[in-house]
Chains A and B, each alone.
Chain A
Amino acid sequence: MPATANPYVNLELKIPNQYSEDFKKYTSRFKSEDGSAKDIDRSPFDRYVDFWWAAIGVGVCEGRVSNTDDSEKFVTGVVLSQDPWRITHLELLAIAHTGSADVIGRPGEVIEIANGYAATGVPILVEMLLKKLEPIWDISNYLKNLAASQQPEAAVASE
C-alpha cells in the first residue's frame, strides 16, 4: 500500500491549558527536572501524542466532545506521520462523527473533532493520574474496562 498522505502537518493538536503541566509530568519521553529518566509506572505515556490519543479514546467512549476555546497547541500534526494508522483512525472518526465523508475535504475540522474528544478525556485521565504515585495500573485497568464496553455485545457476552 502506498504511504499515507498527511494533510494535517500544519494543524495544531491541542489540550486544555490548565492540564499542560500534567501533560508534561505524565509523559516519560522527556526527562525530569533533575535530568533523571522518569519511571514509567509514574509517567505511563511515552509521548504527548500517546497521552492525547488515550484522551481521544476516553472522550469517544464518553460520547461527547468538549469546547476547545481554552485549549493550547502541544504539537503540530506532523507527528501523525510517524504512525500512519492514526491518520486512518482520525479520518474514520471524523466521518462517523459528522455522518458524512465530505469532512475529509476539511482537514481543520477533522483535527478539531479530535481535539474536542481529547478535551473531554484529558481531565478524566489527569484526575486518575493524580490519585496514585504509580498510576499506570489504574489507568490501564480503566482503559481496559472502557475497551470492554466498546466490544460488540456478542463478544462481550462470551468473555
Chain B
Amino acid sequence: MKFKSARIQNFKLLREVALDFSVDPNRPVTVIRAENGSGKTSALSALQWGLFGDAGLEESAQKVRLSPSDWPDGKRCEIRVQIDFAHTVYDEVGGEVVAKHTNYRILRTVAETPRGEKEFTRESDQMHLFELTDSGSEEQQGAEVRLGEMLPREMKNVFFTDGDRAMNFVSPSLTKNTKQHQVKEAIRSLLGLSVLETALEHIRKATSKFNKQLAEASGSAEAATVHAQLEEKRAELKKHRDRLDDLDKQIEQIAKKEEEADRKLLQAMKGVEDHAELAKKLESARRQLKEAEEAEQRLKKRHQALLGSESMSWALLRPKLTEGLAVLAQLADKGVIPATALPVLQDRLDLGRCICETELSEGSTARNNVLRLLETQRKVDEEKKILTELYHRGGVVVRNRSTGAEGVTGWMGEYDELAKDRLNNKKLLENLQNEIKAIEIKISAIDQGTIEELKKARDAYRADKSRKEVDRQDVEINRRPCERVVADLEVKWEQIKAANQKQRTFNNRIAVSQDLGAAVKNTLDELQTAYMRRVSDRMNVLFLQMVGADPTAAGGVFKQAEITPDYEIKVLSGDNRTLDPDHELNGASKRALTLSFIWALTEVSEVVAPRVIDTPLGMMSGGVKSRVVEIISNPDLVPFTGEAGDEQPQDRQEFQVILFLTRQEILMVENLLDARAGQVKTLTNSASYPIDLLNDPKVEQPTILVCDCNHRQHCPVCARKDDDQHHLIGQTATH
C-alpha cells in the first residue's frame, strides 16, 4: 500500500486540507512540516480514522468530538476523510515476478452535532472503498475486509506512530508490568493471531464442557463438587486476569495523560525561568531609565543656563558692544583716557616748580592755581577712571569673544551641541520606556496561576495512577492464591478422572481437547517468541546504527539492545551492564531506542504499508539525528521482508515514509531531506498569530492552513517570528 493523496474536511481544525504524498521510490519520504499545535496530531489521527474508523483512534480520542471546536452547537457537521492509495500485488508468472498495481480511494464520512462544550452526538460513520480506473471509479464490496487484508487493524499502532507516545515503551512513569504488557501486545499485533486465540478459547470451553459431562456421568458427589469448584475458581481466575488487563490499560492511559500534563507544565515552567531573566532585564532597563531621566534634568539645566549666559548676551549685543568699545577706543587714542594729568600736577607741587619754571612756593598764587586745578582734575579723573576700567573690561570681553575657541559661532555652537545631546537623550528615554513596556507585557503573560493548575492536574494524574497501581497489586495478591487453588483442583480432578475407568470416553475427549489446547498455545507462544527474537535482533541493529555505537569496540557506551523473554526492552553497556533507561540513557538515545523498536516491528510484520511518524526526531541533535533520518529514509537500506537471501525488489519499490516534523527537527538534516523527500508541505495554525506568526492570516475562524513551502522555505502564510534561526528562504504564498 502506498498513499498518493489525502483530502481532509472538518476533522478538528483541518477544515479543508489537501496533502500529496511522494510515490517516487528514489525519494520515498513525504515531510509534513508543522510546529506543535499546528495540526500534526490531527492529521495523523485523520489518516488513522480514514483507514480504520473510530477503532483507528486512541481510546481517549474516541470519546472526543472530531468536528472543529468552534462548530456551532446544534449544527450538523459533515466530517470527511478521503485517502487515495495504490496497492501492488506481486505474482510469480513463468518464473518472473509480475506486479499488478491497483489504485483505490477510501472515503470515510460521519456526521457529528456538537451539543455544548464537551457533549456531541455522532452518527455511525460510513466507509466506501472505490477502485479507480481510467474509466471511472467502482465501489468495492466488503470494503473493511479488503482493507484489512492490505493493512490489518492490529498494525495501526505500528505503522502510525506518535514519537512522543512511543516513548511509553521505556517511560519511567510506567510500571515494569505495564511496559512489558505494551511490548508484548505490540509484538502480538504483528502475528494476526486472533484466529488462533479464538480457537484456543473454543478449545477451553469444550474442555470445560467435557469435564462437566464427566463429573455428571461419574455420579460421584466428590467429582461433581471438585468440578464445580474448579469451574468456579477458573472463572474467578479469569476475572482476576481480565481485571489485571483492564487496569494495565487504564494505567497506560493515565500515564499518557500524566506525560502530556508534565510536558505542558515544563513548557510553562520554562516561562518561569524566562520570568527571572525578564525580571533582571526589567531591573536593568529601569536603572538605565533613571540614569537617562537624571541626564535629561542635567541637560535641561544646561539649556536654561545657556539662555542666561554671557555668551548669549554677546551673541545678541555684539554690534552694540563693539560700537561702545570703539567710542572708548577713540578716547584712548585722543589721550583722554587713561587719566595722566593728576600725577604730573602732584609732581610739580612736590617739586615746587611748574613746567613753565614758575615758582610754586607755599601761599603763592601760582601754587593756589595749581591746587585748584588739582582738585578739579581729581573729579574728572574719577570719571575717567571708571571709563578706563570699562575700556579695559570691554576690551577683554571683545578680544576673548572675537577670537580663539569661541570664534564666531560661540553661543550658537554651544546651543547646537546641547540640542544634539538633548535629542539623543530623548531617543534613549523613548527606547528605554518602550523596552520596559514590552518586558512588562511579557512578564504579565507568564501566568503563575496556570502553572499551579498544571501542577495540580499532573499531580492528580499521578495520584490516580498510584491508586490504580495499588488496585493492581491487590488484584495480583488475590490472583496468586486463586491460581494455586486452581492448580490444586486440577490435580485433584486428574486423579478423579484417572480413578474412574468408566468415564474413559469423556476422559479421552478431555485429553484430546487438552492436547489440542496445549498445541495451539505452544504454537502461539512459539510464534510470539520467534517474532520477539526477530524484532529484538532487528531493533538491536537499528539502535546501534542510530546511536553510532560499535558493539565490538572495547569500552563502548552501548553494546546491545534487546527484548528479554519477559518482553522488557533493555540496553547493555560495553561492559555488559544493564543500563537504567531513566538515568543512563539521554533523551536522544531513548528516542532512538523506541524508534528502532517501532521500525523493527514494521519490518518484521511483512506488511508493506506507509510508515507514518509524528515527531520522530524530538530531543535529537547532531549525529544521532542524521543517522536516524538516514536509516528511516534511505530506500537502499530497506531490509528484505523474507528470510536471509530472499530479498524482494518490491520492498524497495513500495517503501514509503511520511514524517511530521517541526522546524527544530528539520534543522541540520536539510540536506538529507533534499535528497530523500519527494513531497513537502507545511501546515500552519492561523490561531498562532500574533504570538508566533509574522503575518495576519486574515481568516474568520481558527483553521489549519496548508502551503507548498518545503523544509527550506517560508512564505507569507507560514512565516514565523523565529524563522531566522532556521535559515529559511522567503517566497510568495503558494496554497
- Any chain A CB within 8 A of the CB of B86? no
- Any chain B CB within 8 A of the CB of A67? no
- Any chain B CB within 8 A of the CB of A100? yes
Query: Quick check: B317 and A91 within 8 Å, CB to CB?
Result: no
- Any chain B CB within 8 A of the CB of A139? yes
Query: Quick check: A151 and B390 within 8 Å, CB to CB?
Result: no
Query: Quick check: A96 and B323 within 8 Å, CB to CB?
Result: yes
Partner of A57, one of B316, B327, B328, B397: B316
B298-332 residues with Cβ-Cβ distance < 8 A to A are: 300-301, 303-308, 310, 312-321, 323-325, 327-328, 331
Report which residue of B310, B317, B394, B409 has the largest number of chain A beta carbons within 10 angstroms of its beta carbon. B317
Query: Quick check: B316 and A146 within 8 Å, CB to CB?
Result: yes
Residue of A nearest to B387 (CB): A101
Query: Quick check: B317 and A54 within 8 Å, CB to CB?
Result: no
- Any chain A CB within 8 A of the CB of B408? yes
| Count of interface residues, chain A, beta-carbon cutoff 8 Å | 52
A130-144 residues with Cβ-Cβ distance < 8 A to B are: 136, 139-140, 143-144
User: In the docked arrangement, what's the CA distance between A40 and B303, Å?
Assistant: 9
User: In the docked arrangement, what's the CA distance between A92 and B323, Å?
Assistant: 8
A47: chain B residues within 8 A (beta carbon) = 308
Main secondary structure of the interface of B (DSSP, over half): helix
Residue of A nearest to B300 (CB): A40
Smallest beta-carbon distance B376→chain A, Å: 15
User: In the docked arrangement, what's the CA distance between A56 and B317, Å?
Assistant: 9
User: In the docked arrangement, what's the CA distance between A147 and B394, Å?
Assistant: 19
- Any chain B CB within 8 A of the CB of A150? yes
User: In the docked arrangement, what's the CA distance between A28 and B303, Å?
Assistant: 13
Contact with B along A22-58 (1 / 0, CB 8 A): 0000001000000000011100111101100110111
B306: chain A residues within 8 A (beta carbon) = 140
A105: chain B residues within 8 A (beta carbon) = 383, 386
User: In the docked arrangement, what's the CA distance between A158 and B323, Å?
Assistant: 23
Partner of B316, one of A39, A150, A159: A150
Residue of B nearest to A94 (CB): B324
Residue of B nearest to A93 (CB): B320
Query: Quick check: A83 and B310 within 8 Å, CB to CB?
Result: yes
A105-159 residues with Cβ-Cβ distance < 8 A to B are: 105, 136, 139-140, 143-144, 146-148, 150-152, 155, 158-159
Query: Quick check: B312 and A93 within 8 Å, CB to CB?
Result: no
User: In the docked arrangement, what's the CA distance between A147 and B309, Å?
Assistant: 13
Smallest beta-carbon distance B333→chain A, Å: 13
Residues of A within 8 A of B (CB): 1-2, 4-5, 28, 39-41, 44-47, 49-50, 53-54, 56-58, 60-61, 83, 85-86, 88-89, 91-97, 99-101, 104-105, 136, 139-140, 143-144, 146-148, 150-152, 155, 158-159
The 6 nearest A-B residue pairs measured at CB: A57-B316, A92-B324, A50-B308, A155-B408, A147-B315, A96-B323
Q: List 18 A-B contacts (CB under 8 A).
A: A1-B392, A44-B307, A46-B307, A53-B313, A85-B313, A88-B397, A89-B310, A92-B324, A95-B328, A96-B324, A101-B327, A101-B328, A101-B387, A105-B383, A140-B419, A143-B307, A150-B316, A155-B408
Q: In the complex, given contacts A95-B324, A150-B319, what are 20 additional A-B residue pairs having Cβ atoms less than 8 angstroms apart? A: A1-B396, A2-B389, A5-B389, A39-B300, A40-B303, A54-B307, A88-B397, A93-B324, A96-B324, A96-B327, A101-B327, A101-B387, A104-B390, A136-B303, A150-B315, A150-B317, A151-B315, A151-B318, A155-B409, A158-B408
